[in-house]
Amino acid sequence: MHELVAFQTGQLVSFKKKLPTLQDPALRALYAEAIAALEHNLRDLLAFYPKAPAPHRDHEEIELPGAESAQLLGVLKTAVRNYAIAITETATPELRATFVKHLTAAIALHAKVFYFMLERGFYPSYNLDQLLATDVKNAHAALSL
């Protein structure tokens, strides 16, 4: 659930920032529809957070993580998955070697972004209570933009 909320929150922020700059009415309508869909998804998922196992949940103020770094982490996770799949689907040795090189680079950059976020308290991955509280706070912030 965390992965879905964190990724969709980052995308929602990005789409809301981009929407005012779009000139094409059809593309603008697609962005508006995507924004509405993401808002709906987040509201649905947020309803499950109070049910998540967290016996000693701390409700103190938590600094909002950088939406851009969370979005970057999500994009890199997706790149790792996509390259791993592509490696298994190519029959060309040269292309496979290129995919492996790109996969290795994506993994390394993912690690850098993860540690950047961890060191700054943007991604408390080892503290479930704080991670879930941060998800809720970030999703509410994105919904209120």
27-46 pLDDT, tens digit each = 999 999 989 988 988 898 88
Whole-number pLDDT of residue 54? 58
- The contacts of residue 30 (CB under 8 Å, 6+ apart) are none
Tokens 């950047």, residue located: 116
Kindly report the number of other CB atoms within 10 A of residue 19's CB atom.
14
Alpha-carbon distance of 43 to 45, in angstroms, equals 6
| Whole-number pLDDT of residue 112 | 94
Give how far the C-alpha of residue 59 lies from the chain's centroid of Cα atoms, to the nearest Å.
23
User: Which residues in the chain show pLDDT less than 70?
Assistant: 53-66
> Full-prediction pTM beyond 0.75?
no
Residue 130's pLDDT is: 87
Q: What is the pLDDT of residue 64?
A: 46
Query: What pLDDT score does 137 carry?
Result: 87
Amino acid 22: pLDDT? 94
